[in-house]
Amino acid sequence: MPHAPLAGRSVLVTGIGREGQVGEVVAAALADAGASISAVDLLSDAAEARAAALRTRGARADAYACDLTNESAVQKLAETIGSKNGGRLDALVHLAGGFGMSSVADSALAVWQKQLALNLTTAALTARAFLPLLRAARGAFVFFGSAAALPGASVANVAAYATAKSGVLTLMRALSEEERANGVRANALAPISIRTAANEKSMGTDARYVEREDVARVVVWLCSDESRPLTGQVLPLG
């Protein structure tokens, strides 16, 4: 491997998803950069499929199923992964989340609660549970916001999603400020729609997308020492 900026590093990827989704390419790029991967998804078969695909590339990869909206489940996951990685974790890429249409006037409370839970609660619980492992490694958090959370973006009919993603960006900044002295970095990507199988099915092939490979390259960089000491930053993509 001619260039392996993450050789010997351990990286957790949440919301790893199924074939054709963002996590597939992000995890492969991290593995190709030398990292061992902890692949986490709500569904055990999705996590195991991605881990198995990584192992065929010669990477070390373990699969875990976890409901990241459940505080005790996330804490147990952190303990399990910590015990397998010597009490440390070099990077955490939080891809877990979900999208849904909503308007302020007409959306039911359940819609707002679901978007906040999938996008913001998962990020907060995961960050808190895994923070001791990141401190031990002076590691890096990478969060996924959205272009919809950037100033001036159109947010009509995506109110709950945009609100939740704005919260993720605020969480990232708070984590960056609070943990800077511990050597822990936190940054976020704010992509437009990413070209995935699901997005192409719902929005068509001619919509404006950022490619999964471009997203993956930025994630690898943010997880590596090449991006140090960058922290507290939001990187728009697309």
Domain count across the chain: 1
Round the average pLDDT of the chain to a whole number and report it: 96
Domain-located, residue 205: yes
Domain-located, residue 211: yes
Is pLDDT above 90 for 1? no
- Annotate 8-75 with three-state secondary structure: CCEEEEECCCCCCCHHHHHHHHHHHCCCEEEEEECCHHHHHHHHHHHHHCCCCEEEEECCCCCHHHHH
Domain-located, residue 162: yes
Tell whether pTM > 0.75.
yes
Domain-located, residue 147: yes
Q: What is the pLDDT of residues 191-223, one digit of tens each?
A: 999 998 888 888 898 889 999 999 999 999 999
Domain-located, residue 5: no
Question: Which CATH number fits the domain that encloses residue 224?
Answer: 3.40.50.720
Domain-located, residue 79: yes
Residue 209 is part of which domain span?
A: 10-237
Domain-located, residue 2: no
Q: What is the pLDDT of residues 105-156, one digit of tens each?
A: 999 999 999 999 999 999 999 999 999 999 999 999 999 999 999 999 999 9
